[in-house]
């Protein structure tokens, strides 16, 4: 019995250390797994040494994406019919919303509406059936099924809205640097079309979204479309007010023959000033935003640390004397 008790005691003593060792080994293995990947510098060197490998990988990913896109394009039109816009104004708003998120295809609207309808059906049949099957038919389960169906119905809107916001933010942050590069190109003797092509080529790795927009605008210019129309579409296609302003300034400069370099420089300075003002505004809001975590999380801990010892002393010393 003594030996059994000693063995149990030793087992209970060693169990925390064994668990600690297991968790430490798992954590070490995960860190090694995450750190085993190459750094960005090594990846760039590999791309420079072997550009065909990256091209092949990009081609394979593009083929998979095209196959998935074709499947969605074939499957979603039937689901999209009940949700088709009733007039041209609603269709225009839908196309503009999808364009701001980067979806410019002809079938983007039908795919989007088809996904919404499919989410609604899946929420009602699969999710609602599961909830009702597990909890029985009651008001609570029916409300949960309807809520799940509504969430899946509006999930594509949330995703498209998030993608559009991220895309607009990327364009807004990239504009000042792009304008500085355009100023350098124009002052070096290049025309506006050549400057846009140069910006699109040089900013592929840093600001891919704005680079693609400039590349598309340059392609439209090469196809013979009027410059004013291309610049106007460049401003409205992204949904960024600064880019619309820039397009308007370039259209006016091209129309009246004023200096494009000076207009670009003024617009770049105005954008940088606006970014600095936005940063100052966010910094000024920090003090107000810190009130809630201070009151809810930090102040109670400080209160316990400062007042706790005094309260314990009062309970131990004062209350017995008052009771006596």
Please check whether residues 115 and 190 belong to one and the same domain. no
CA distance 114 to 79: 5
Please check whether residues 181 and 276 belong to one and the same domain. yes
pLDDT value of residue 4:
41
Mean pLDDT, residues 60-65 taken together: 49
Q: Is the pLDDT of residue 55 over 60?
A: no
Please check whether residues 228 and 314 belong to one and the same domain. no
Answer yes or no: is 24 within a domain. no
Answer yes or no: is 14 within a domain. no
Please check whether residues 268 and 182 belong to one and the same domain. yes
Q: Sign of the C-alpha dihedral, residues 284, 289, 291, 294?
A: negative
Please check whether residues 173 and 150 belong to one and the same domain. no
CA distance 314 to 323: 13
Please check whether residues 221 and 194 belong to one and the same domain. yes
Please check whether residues 144 and 218 belong to one and the same domain. no
Contact yes or no for 199/186 (Cβ under 8 A):
no
Please check whether residues 162 and 173 belong to one and the same domain. no
Closest by CA to 245, choosing from 254, 256, 234, 255, is 234
Q: Structural domain of residue 196, as residue ranges?
A: 169-286
Structure tokens at 77: 């039109």
**Over the stretch 278-323, which tens digit does the pLDDT of each residue have?**
889 988 888 888 888 888 888 888 888 888 888 888 788 777 777 6
The separation between the first and the last C-alpha atoms of the chain, rounded to the nearest angstrom, is: 51
Answer yes or no: is 19 within a domain. no
What is the average pLDDT score of the chain? 75
Answer yes or no: is 92 within a domain. yes
pLDDT value of residue 8:
42
**CATH code, domain with 192:** 1.20.81
Q: How confident is the model at residue 178 (pLDDT cuts 50, 70, 90)?
A: confident
Please check whether residues 123 and 210 belong to one and the same domain. no
Answer yes or no: is 132 within a domain. yes
Q: Is the pLDDT of residue 58 over 50?
A: no
Q: How confident is the model at residue 248 (pLDDT cuts 50, 70, 90)?
A: confident
Please check whether residues 160 and 70 belong to one and the same domain. yes
CA distance 186 to 260: 8
Answer yes or no: is 28 within a domain. no
pLDDT value of residue 324:
54
Q: How confident is the model at residue 61 (pLDDT cuts 50, 70, 90)?
A: very low
Classify 226 in phi/psi space as left (phi over 0), alpha (psi -120 to 50) or beta: beta
Answer yes or no: is 20 within a domain. no
* 214 CB-near residues (< 8 Å, 6+ apart): 178, 196, 197, 199, 200, 203, 234
Structure tokens at 74: 């074939």
Last residue of a domain, one of 115, 134, 166: 166
Kindly give the residue spans of alpha helices, DSSP state H, lying in 188-226.
192-202, 208-222
For the chain, state the CA radius of gyration: 31
Classify 103 in phi/psi space as left (phi over 0), alpha (psi -120 to 50) or beta: beta
- Of the listed ranges 116-130, 149-163, 248-262, the least confidently predicted one is 116-130
Answer yes or no: is 114 within a domain. yes
Please check whether residues 122 and 182 belong to one and the same domain. no
Q: Is the pLDDT of residue 62 over 50?
A: no
Contact yes or no for 116/157 (Cβ under 8 A):
yes
* 187 CB-near residues (< 8 Å, 6+ apart): 261
Contact yes or no for 178/203 (Cβ under 8 A):
yes
Q: Which residue has the tokens 């949904």?
A: 239
Q: Number of folded domains in the chain?
A: 3
CA distance 238 to 97: 10
Last residue of a domain, one of 145, 166, 187: 166
Give the burial class of 213: count Cβ atoms within 10 A of its Cβ; 0-12 exposed, 13-18 middle, 19 or more buried. Answer: buried
Please check whether residues 282 and 173 belong to one and the same domain. yes
Last residue of a domain, one of 149, 166, 183: 166
């Amino acid at each position: 019995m003594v030996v059994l008790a000693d063995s149990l005691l030793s087992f209970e003593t060693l169990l925390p250390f064994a668990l600690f060792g297991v968790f430490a080994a798992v954590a070490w293995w995960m860190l090694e797994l995450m750190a085993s990947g190459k750094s960005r510098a090594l990846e760039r060197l590999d791309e420079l040494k072997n550009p065909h490998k990256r091209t092949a990988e990009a081609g394979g990913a593009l083929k998979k994406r095209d196959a998935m896109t074709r499947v969605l394009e074939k499957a979603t039109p039937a689901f999209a019919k009940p949700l088709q816009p009733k007039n041209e104004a609603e269709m225009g708003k839908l196309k503009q919303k999808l364009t701001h998120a980067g979806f410019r295809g002809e079938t983007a609207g039908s795919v989007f509406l088809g996904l919404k309808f499919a989410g609604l059906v899946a929420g009602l049949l699969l999710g609602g059936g599961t909830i009702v099957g597990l909890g029985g038919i009651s008001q609570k389960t029916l409300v949960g099924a309807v809520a799940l169906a509504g969430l899946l119905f509006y999930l594509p809107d949330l995703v498209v809205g998030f993608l559009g916001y991220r895309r607009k933010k990327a364009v807004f942050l990239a504009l000042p640097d792009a304008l500085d590069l355009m100023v350098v190109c124009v002052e070096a003797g290049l025309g506006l079309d050549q400057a846009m092509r140069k910006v699109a080529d040089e900013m592929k790795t840093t600001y891919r979204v704005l680079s693609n927009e400039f590349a598309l605008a340059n392609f439209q210019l090469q196809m013979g479309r009027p410059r004013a129309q291309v610049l106007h579409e460049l401003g409205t296609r992204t949904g960024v007010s600064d880019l619309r302003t820039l397009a308007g300034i370039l259209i006016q400069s091209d129309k009246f023959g004023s200096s494009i370099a000076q207009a670009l420089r003024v617009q770049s300075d105005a954008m940088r000033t606006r970014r600095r003002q936005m940063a100052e505004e966010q910094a000024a809001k920090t003090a107000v935003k810190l009130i809630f975590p201070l009151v809810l999380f930090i102040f109670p801990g400080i209160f316990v640390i400062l007042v706790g010892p005094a309260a314990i002393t009062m309970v131990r010393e004062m209350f017995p004397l008052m009771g006596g």
